[in-house]
Amino acid sequence: MKVNILVAEIGSTTTVVNAFDGVYDNCPKFLGQGQAPTTVLEGDVNIGLQGAIEDLKENLQTEEISYDEMLATSSAAGGLRMTVHGLVYDMTVRAAKEAALGAGANIHQITAGKLRRTDIKKLKEIKPNIILIAGGVDYGERETALYNAEKIAELNLDIPVIYAGNIENQDEVKEIFEETNSKLYIVENVYPKIDKLNIEPTRRVIQKVFEEHIIHAPGMTRVREMVTGPIIPTPGAVMLSSKLIKEEIGDLITLDVGGATTDVHSVTEGSEEVNRILLSPEPVAKRTVEGDLGVFVNMRNIVDRVGIENLSERLKVNEETVEKLIESHKPIPETDMQKRFVEELTLEAVITAVRRHAGKFRDLYGPGGKKTIAEGKDLTKVQYIIGTGGALTRLPRRVEIMKNIAINNKGNELFPSKDAKVLVDNKYIMASLGVLSKKYPDAALKLLKQSLEID
């Protein structure tokens, strides 16, 4: 069988391959999916990729499969590990962090101000894939970013470095890294003026650098040889899909509850009323990742949050049964009771992750009396809530879980309203379509609307 495009999603535990045809003649079709365990531990992720292709052949009932192009997303070997170093946490550091998260990074270290010896020691231990240096508005403070650049350059780590700080420092930073093994990328300032974010240029460069230096996972060099188009971080691909569909249907959030983490992607400008009283600016496209909220690897964290007694009441079983469900927990639930258990975990993950992602109203009291301000991301104008990932595309009560978001608003939180419509990525192809959209946006949009079941 000949197909137009295969898209590989190389995850930390599972590798998935999706097949698409009709992409070139604007009548795109999703043909099917294959999957296999990711083989980082075997020393070569290519083994898992070949296994997923074999599974795809079986599902499509064909002995051979050939393709014109292969694209890929990856979160194998810890995904895109980054460290972020800026000046003031609430300003340049936060702007740099938003850029990194939006590109699909896992941030392992954040520092504000001049790097200390303990910071440098930790940086060496982390061995990030990319280091991001920011600091200072344009034509403002210069010394901190230059000091940090010099300290990082002295390490000679052979790690790509992105500089996205004060524009006045660009030539000096180039000189600092001139004789090091680190490849340097100069980008526009992520925080050029007070209360102004400029994170899209840095996001684009992070994904470009990730693709150029994808060989961090065992065997990825061979995958790079197979892949004819871009390779981007999986969470960054979900964000690309979210931004693509937002232009078609309006403001949205995308939820991805996984075995280890829960990601929330929002694409919304927020309301004029809230923007007028917002304490500091928020990006239009924002991603947060909750590393403690997963329904398999981090299942016990969620159990502790809910409590055995509450789970017992919700599931209408005794506490001994709940303990047995915890002990026998599997990555993919099989029985009805196991599914109900995972649904309760997923509900807690969704509500907690949205609460951490969304902003809230706060009252300040001064000489003039009470003043209401807003801080954080405003989700009140969100029209659609999209579920992707295993839990929110496969569990029986997935729609009900997402509808619970508005109900759980404590009153002062900038949550979506009850009118927000729930959509499900039924074919579980949102990440694949994100990377597809980089070359074929029209085809990706049509396929995404098919998966979300919207006209």
Can you give the pLDDT at residue 406? Answer: 95
Q: Is residue 186 part of a domain?
A: yes
Identify the residue whose tokens are 């978001």: 405
**pLDDT tens-digit map of 157-195:** 989 999 999 999 999 999 999 989 889 999 999 999 998
CA dist 210 and 236 (Å) reads 11
Q: What is the mean pLDDT of the chain?
A: 92
**Residue 258 confidence class, pLDDT cut points 50, 70, 90:** confident
Q: Is the pLDDT of residue 26 over 90?
A: no
Do 188 and 162 belong to one domain? yes
N-terminal to C-terminal alpha carbon distance within the chain: 30
**pLDDT tens-digit map of 329-365:** 888 888 999 999 999 999 999 999 999 999 999 998 8
94 contacts 283 by C-beta, under 8 angstroms: no
Q: Is the pLDDT of residue 436 over 60?
A: yes
Q: Is the pLDDT of residue 215 over 60?
A: no
The angle subtended at Cα 81 by Cα 75 and Cα 85, nearest 5°, is 150
Can you give the pLDDT at residue 213? Answer: 72
Do 103 and 125 belong to one domain? yes
The angle subtended at Cα 238 by Cα 196 and Cα 197, nearest 5°, is 5
What's 113-129 look like in SS3?
Answer: CCCCHHHHHHHHHHCCC
Q: Is the pLDDT of residue 217 over 70?
A: no
CA dist 163 and 92 (Å) reads 12
Identify the residue whose tokens are 């192009």: 69
Do 30 and 111 belong to one domain? no
Can you give the pLDDT at residue 138? Answer: 96
CA dist 199 and 203 (Å) reads 6
Do 23 and 128 belong to one domain? no
Q: CB 245: neighbour CB atoms within 10 A?
A: 25
CA dist 249 and 454 (Å) reads 9
Q: Is the pLDDT of residue 370 over 90?
A: no
Q: What percent of the chain has pLDDT over 70?
A: 96
- Model's pTM, two decimal places? 0.88
**pLDDT tens-digit map of 131-147:** 999 999 999 999 999 99
Q: Is the pLDDT of residue 216 over 60?
A: no
Identify the residue whose tokens are 């040889």: 225
| CATH code: domain of residue 294 | 3.30.420
Can you give the pLDDT at residue 262? Answer: 93
| CATH code: domain of residue 41 | 3.30.420.40
Can you give the pLDDT at residue 330? Answer: 82
Do 150 and 175 belong to one domain? yes
- The amino acid present at 302, given as its one-letter code, is I
Can you give the pLDDT at residue 214? Answer: 61
Number of domains, the chain = 3
The CA–CA distances, whole Å, from 189 to 61, 87, 192, 223 equal 52, 13, 5, 33
More confident residue, 216 or 427: 427
Task: Domain of residue 103: give its range.
Answer: 80-214
Do 42 and 147 belong to one domain? no
Q: CB 230: neighbour CB atoms within 10 A?
A: 18
- Provide the greatest CA pair distance for the chain: 78
Q: Is residue 310 part of a domain?
A: no
**pLDDT tens-digit map of 69-86:** 999 998 765 678 899 999
Can you give the pLDDT at residue 230? Answer: 78
Do 24 and 86 belong to one domain? no
CA dist 338 and 328 (Å) reads 9
Q: Is residue 130 part of a domain?
A: yes
CA dist 117 and 311 (Å) reads 46
Do 127 and 273 belong to one domain? no
Average pLDDT over residues 117-121: 97
Do 177 and 265 belong to one domain? no
Q: Is the pLDDT of residue 129 over 80?
A: yes
Q: Is the pLDDT of residue 425 over 60?
A: yes
Handedness of CA 413, 414, 418, 423 (dihedral sign): negative
Average pLDDT over residues 358-376: 91
| CATH code: domain of residue 89 | 3.40.50.2300
CA dist 301 and 420 (Å) reads 29
Average pLDDT over residues 222-226: 76
Do 223 and 280 belong to one domain? no
17 contacts 6 by C-beta, under 8 angstroms: yes
CA dist 349 and 342 (Å) reads 10
What's the number of CA atoms in the CB half-sphere (13 Å) around residue 419? 6
Can you give the pLDDT at residue 332? Answer: 81
The shares of helix, strand and coil residues in the chain, as percent rounded to the nearest 5, are 40, 25, 35
DSSP output for 413-450: B-PPPTTPEEEE-TTS-HHHHHHHTTT-HHHHHHHHHH
Top-confidence range, 9-13, 71-75, 89-93: 89-93
